[in-house]
A = this chain, B = another copy of it.
Amino acid sequence: MSKHIVIIGLGLIGGSMARALRGFEDFDIIGVDVSQPTMRYALENEIVDEAEEDPVKALARGDLVFLCLHPQGIIDFMAEHRDHFKEGAMVTDVCGIKGSILEGAKVLPPTVSFVGGHPMAGTEFSGIQNSLVNMFHGAHYILVPNEQSHPDHLELMERVAEYVGCTDVVMTTAKEHDTIIAYTSQMMHIIAVSVCDDESLFHCQGFEGDSFRGCTRVAALDVPLWTQLFTLNADALGDALEKLESNIRLYRETIQSGDRETLIRKLTFSAARKRRMNRLEKATGAVGRDAQG
């Protein structure tokens, strides 16, 4: 008898995870979503083996459960369904914040193993119709265990990460995850929306190059999702943004002062840091779906 992966929430990431996990070991995939059109789309496009409206029925068969809702939705789902998970079930999530999720996972009974997860991939689109089988290719898969994480569960997640095409698995704590992600992900989204707030945006058509497209791509974000992510990580994100503002101001003041020597010194310093970072990335093989060579 085959085992079952249950995916709660067939949006961009849940849908992509389902696509990427087809044929994984001896698991069949059961998709759960509140939207009938989404469920129909998932079945018609063979993204899942089964669609199940009732999460309670799905959870009763779920050996490995992916919670692919928005952060607050994941927290609420665990509280509401704490007693519906199968004994020995392995539960994980895919969202971009880990402190609140790990806190919320404390409601789960001791018969259930939990590991927080964050496969570092996404696009600026949402919904199952934008899901991609190769969404996770070249991405980092971050795992945050707690005292309730079964060793078998961590091993299974490592096989999941490899199967969906991730470059590596990075183990960390919720606090470290949230601090670093404020810098590497959330701040990029604040930069993108801030650039798009400039009054020149619609006058600049015909003058955009790849750097502009690369920086602003993620500005067309999913507002409810990112409102939650930013709000749940306000302290770390606020600190990261304060440092960014200061670094930009130092560059601006140098440029405005006409101090060419300092500008050369600063640019040399920053460019060397980026090149060193590129070498480190190259060494690990992480490239992302749209990164350049």
Contacts and interface: CB of A to CB of B under 8 A. Distances in A.
Interface in A233-275: 234, 237-238, 240-245, 247-249, 251-252, 255-256, 258, 260, 263-264, 266-271, 273-275
B210 A273 contact: no
A201 B238 contact: no
Given A195-B244, A263-B230, A264-B223, A238 B255 contact: yes
A209 B249 contact: no
B123 A281 contact: no
A136 to B, nearest CB: 11
B207 A231 contact: no
A216 interface: yes
A150 to B, nearest CB: 23
B245 A249 contact: yes
A196 interface: yes
Interface stretch (A12-20, A80-88, A176-184): A176-184
A176 to B, nearest CB: 9
Interface string A197-228: 11111111111111111111111110110110
Nearest to A183: B200
A3 interface: no
Each complex incorporates copies of this chain amounting to 2
Nearest to A206: B170
A280 B256 CA distance: 33
A278 interface: yes
Nearest to A203: B180
Interface residues of A, number: 99
Contact of A264 (B190, B213, B227, B260): B227
Interface stretch (A21-29, A33-41, A56-64, A283-291): A283-291
B211 A192 contact: yes
Contacts of A181: 207
A263 B225 CA distance: 12
A160 interface: no
A279 to B, nearest CB: 10
Contacts of A227: 260, 263-264, 267
B180 A204 contact: yes
A117 to B, nearest CB: 14
Nearest to A141: B206
A93 B179 CA distance: 46
B255 A244 contact: no
Given A197-B247, A219-B270, A210 B290 contact: yes
20 contacts: A120-B207, A120-B209, A122-B209, A142-B206, A187-B195, A193-B274, A195-B244, A196-B270, A198-B240, A199-B243, A208-B281, A210-B291, A213-B288, A219-B274, A223-B268, A230-B263, A231-B263, A241-B248, A242-B252, A245-B245
